Amino acid sequence: MKASEVKGKQVVIIGGKRSGLAAARLLKKHGAKVFLSEREALLDKALEEELQRAKIKYEFGGHTEKIFDADFAVISPGVPSNAPVVQQLQRAKIRVFSEIEVASWFCRAKLLPSQAQMERRRRPC
């Protein structure tokens, strides 16, 4: 996906800590309709105020059916790729991306493959 393709998309962010908020703000800035969902209860009123200021819809204390109203999902680094919520999204045919991948859509610098990717390319079939 490209940065230009997020405008108007419904996006759910799974994980509402610092990086989830950053991903939500980035996508919102580029025209996505963002919903942030966090499994844990809201403990930080400043976070809630920031979400409200940014006009980002959110839920804390568990993931509801609202997460399925999305064109794609973004998972925070603290959410394992085999977490039940991720598996549910995948079964619902909602594409799931990591925050790192989403951030790369907006990076103007040339991206180089990691050492692991380079090693995989060198291995014979």
Domain boundaries, the chain: 3-122
CA distance 97 to 48: 24
- From first to last of its 125 residues, the chain has per-residue pLDDT tens of 888 899 999 999 999 888 899 999 999 999 999 999 999 998 788 889 999 999 999 999 999 999 999 999 999 998 999 999 999 999 999 999 999 899 989 987 776 666 655 555 555 54
Q: What tokens were used for 64?
A: 């509801």
From the number of C-beta atoms within 10 Å of its C-beta (0-12, 13-18, 19+), residue 98 rates as: middle
What pTM was estimated for this model as a whole?
Answer: 0.83
The highest-level CATH class for domain 3-122 is alpha beta
